[in-house]
Amino acid sequence: MDHGSFPDLLEVLGGTVESRDHKGRTVLHHIAVTSAVKGRSSASRYYLESLLEWVVRQGSVPNSQANGNVPSSSQTATPKMGIARFMSEIVNAQDSAGDTALNISARIGNRSIVSQLLEVGADPEIANRAGLRPLDFGIGGENPEEKTVVEQSDTNGAVGSGQRNKESSDEIITSITHLLTETSTSFQQEIKAKQQSVDSIHSTLRTTSTQLGEARKTVEQLSATLKKQQVARQIITNLASTRQDDKIRLMQEQAGSNPSDHGKQSSPP
């Protein structure tokens, strides 16, 4: 949209300011949502400023000239969109998710839009269906400047009470679901990495245990072989000792038998 053309468009379509889309969103909701788009914050601020200026002007013109090109028959039935009606009916209007324009702006964090909405009586205590309020995002509360604005709006009878309910908000649930999904994915990846590390350690442990078992078998086999060798050596030693004893005894026997044989040979026949 060309710069400066929005006020002219409001003069033509001003009577539709209170219209809502299929989600129950007003023009303020759409300005708040648009402010979250990269590069559209300034444009959104311009739209809101132009809209508020147009609303203020409507309060200074007769009913017959208010609300753009609305037929006179409808003007008699519907009050003009002055600042008082705008603040009481549009500023704190809730969409199908229970969000006000201020609630959306508070979640987005667009301080410029938030400030302008507070100036026209946006209530920071109205909760959406998820139970979230602008106060929960640091908007309103004990801030002196914002509190003064709200009090001034109350004295003018312009602050809407809004409806409070605890049903789920599609946008909040989507955001929370996305956050939980990312957290779950990160957790699962970490668990997977830890499990792979544990599996690797278990594999190494099994390999080491197998090697240790084989080493023990080898040691047992070597011990058995060594024991057999020791027994064999002992048998050999015993046999050698027995053989030596037998040899000595035989020599002694031979030595003892030789003198008698010599005496028999020297005696006369």
Distant-in-sequence, close-in-space partners of 123: CB < 8 Å, separation ≥ 6: 92, 100, 102, 140, 150, 159, 160, 161, 162
Does residue 192 contact residue 186 with C-beta atoms inside 8 Å? no
Q: Worst-scoring range by mean pLDDT, 1-10, 98-107, 128-137? A: 1-10
Confidence of residue 49 (pLDDT cuts 50, 70, 90): confident
Stronger pLDDT, 173 or 82, i.e. the higher one: 82
Query: What pLDDT does 126 receive?
Result: 92
Contact by Cβ (8 Å): 105, 117: yes
Give residue 146's pLDDT.
45
The CATH homologous superfamily of the domain defined by 6-167: Ankyrin repeat-containing domain (1.25.40.20)
**25, 95 Cβ separation under 8 angstroms:** yes
Q: Which residue has the higher pLDDT, 142 or 163?
A: 142
Region 140-163 average pLDDT: 47
pLDDT, averaged across the chain: 76
Over residues 197-220, the pLDDT tens digits come to: 999 999 999 999 999 999 999 999
| Rounded mean pLDDT, 242-262 | 80
87 alpha carbon, distance to own chain's centre: 39
Q: What pLDDT, on the 0 to 100 scale, is given for residue 234?
A: 93
